[in-house]
């Protein structure tokens, strides 16, 4: 098996080397840079939604390999100048092959990747950069997760080496996860649950997000007839509050049909059985307003449930339950 793996690696490496040689015939061998997409703590609650690091200088003909070590979903996506941003489901469209070439003429997209427990090693995605320029990198799953790739002429010295970027990735990861931990304070009242916490940070390469993928004070004990309210404190990432069977992928964004809207804009459901299916839809802050674009509407940041029968009601975020984002409402008579 080891020989087969080694043979496959050599074959892939040789094909890549040949491709780069065809692109830049005057260059004997290009460099491959190693970067990271996302980071997390041990129980996956705290997530760094960031390219680590999110700025790098390379030479034309070089390639970058991104490793996806976290359980949260991400993409490595390069869009054409002026291209409308697609959803993570649509891609650009779909995904492009590993070792795709990005030269600003066609979009390149890894598709949704994540490090699941069943996977023996984290997935990777490699992009080759044959032409000079300054290119924006985005994650289609997280709007405020961006990076910049500077591709220079071969004659231009590079400012940093791989060891520098490794140290920078470790430092940025530690800072973001530390920020996430500091944000994970319980501000919930006796009948309130905070659905995720997060904030955006900027640097020279773009924007990054520190997020806590948990319900704060997730277990509540109440009585029949009382109402629990979930409020989002997440700057970017959407969450759901879902009781019962998980809706299919295309039905996750809107709420289920048994959800109404209160006068203050909060969504509201009434549950009478632990087996009843109720889905909040996406609970999220409104996007930031931008000059020249229509003003964004008020975000949907509150979801209420009134419980009419005793029992133990399990709920989860269908987007992040694999990270452990779940809770329970215990309703007493």
pLDDT digits (tens, 9 = 90+) for 301-319: 999 999 999 999 999 999 9
Residue 105, pLDDT > 80, answer yes
Name the DSSP letter for residue 329.
Answer: E
Name the nearest CA neighbour of 206 among 150, 144, 160. Answer: 144
Cα separation, 329 vs 333, whole angstroms: 13
Name the nearest CA neighbour of 172 among 132, 144, 205. Answer: 205
Model confidence over 8-63: pLDDT tens digits? Answer: 333 444 445 455 545 555 455 799 999 999 999 999 999 999 999 999 999 999 99
Chain Cα centroid distance, residue 136: 17
Left if phi > 0, otherwise alpha if psi is -120 to 50, otherwise beta: which for 5? Answer: alpha
Q: Is the pLDDT higher at 89 or at 280?
A: 280
Residue 299, pLDDT > 50, answer yes
Name the DSSP letter for residue 213.
Answer: E
Cα separation, 150 vs 49, whole angstroms: 21
Residue pair 222/300 in contact (Cβ under 8 Å)? The answer is no
3-state secondary structure of 13: helix
Q: Which fold has domain 218-332?
A: Immunoglobulin-like (2.60.40)
Report angle CA 120, 125, 126 to the nearest 5 degrees: 135
Structure tokens belonging to residue 232: 């989002």
Structure tokens belonging to residue 28: 């004997």
The single residue listed with the structure tokens 């709007």 is: 143
Name the nearest CA neighbour of 241 among 207, 192, 205, 204. Answer: 192
Give the model's pLDDT for residue 12: 44
Give the model's pLDDT for residue 188: 58
Partner residues linked to 73 by β-bridges: none
Four-point Cα dihedral 244, 245, 249, 254, nearest 10? -30
Position 187 confidence tier, pLDDT thresholds 50, 70, 90: low
CATH 2.60.40.420-classified regions of the chain: 31-181, 218-332
Q: Is the pLDDT higher at 220 or at 15?
A: 220
Average the pLDDT over 264-284 and give the result. 95
3-state secondary structure of 183: helix
What is the dotted CATH code of the domain comprising 31-181? Answer: 2.60.40.420
Widest CA span of the chain, in angstroms?
79
């Amino acid at each position: 098996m080891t020989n087969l793996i080694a043979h496959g690696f050599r074959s892939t490496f040789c094909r890549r080397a040949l491709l780069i040689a065809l692109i830049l015939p005057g260059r004997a061998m290009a460099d491959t840079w190693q970067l990271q997409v996302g980071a997390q703590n041990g129980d996956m609650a705290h997530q760094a939604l960031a390219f680590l690091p999110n700025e790098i200088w390379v030479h034309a003909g070089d390639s970058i390999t991104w490793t996806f070590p976290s359980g949260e979903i991400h993409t490595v996506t390069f869009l054409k100048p002026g291209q409308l941003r697609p959803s993570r489901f649509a891609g650009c469209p779909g995904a492009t092959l590993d070792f795709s070439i990005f030269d600003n003429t066609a979009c390149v997209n890894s598709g949704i990747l994540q490090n699941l427990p069943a996977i023996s090693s984290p997935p990777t995605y490699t992009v080759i950069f044959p032409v000079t320029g300054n290119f924006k990198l985005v994650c289609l799953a997280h709007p405020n997760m961006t990076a910049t790739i500077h591709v220079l002429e071969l004659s231009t010295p590079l400012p940093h080496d791989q060891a520098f970027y490794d140290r920078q990735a470790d430092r940025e990861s530690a800072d973001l996860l530390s920020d996430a931990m500091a944000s994970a304070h319980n501000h919930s009242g006796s009948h309130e649950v905070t659905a995720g916490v997060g904030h955006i940070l900027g640097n020279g390469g773009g924007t990054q997000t520190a997020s806590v993928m948990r319900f704060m004070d997730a277990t509540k004990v109440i009585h029949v007839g009382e109402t629990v309210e979930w409020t989002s404190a997440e700057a970017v990432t959407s969450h759901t509050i879902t009781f019962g069977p998980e809706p299919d992928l295309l039905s996750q964004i809107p709420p289920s049909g048994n959800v109404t809207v209160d006068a203050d804009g909060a969504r509201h459901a009434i549950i009478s059985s632990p087996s009843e299916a109720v889905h909040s839809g996406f609970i999220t802050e409104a996007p930031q307003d931008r000059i020249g674009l229509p003003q964004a509407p008020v975000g949907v940041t509150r979801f209420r449930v009134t419980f009419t029968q005793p029992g133990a009601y399990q709920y989860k975020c269908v987007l992040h339950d694999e990270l452990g984002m779940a809770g329970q409402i215990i309703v007493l008579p």
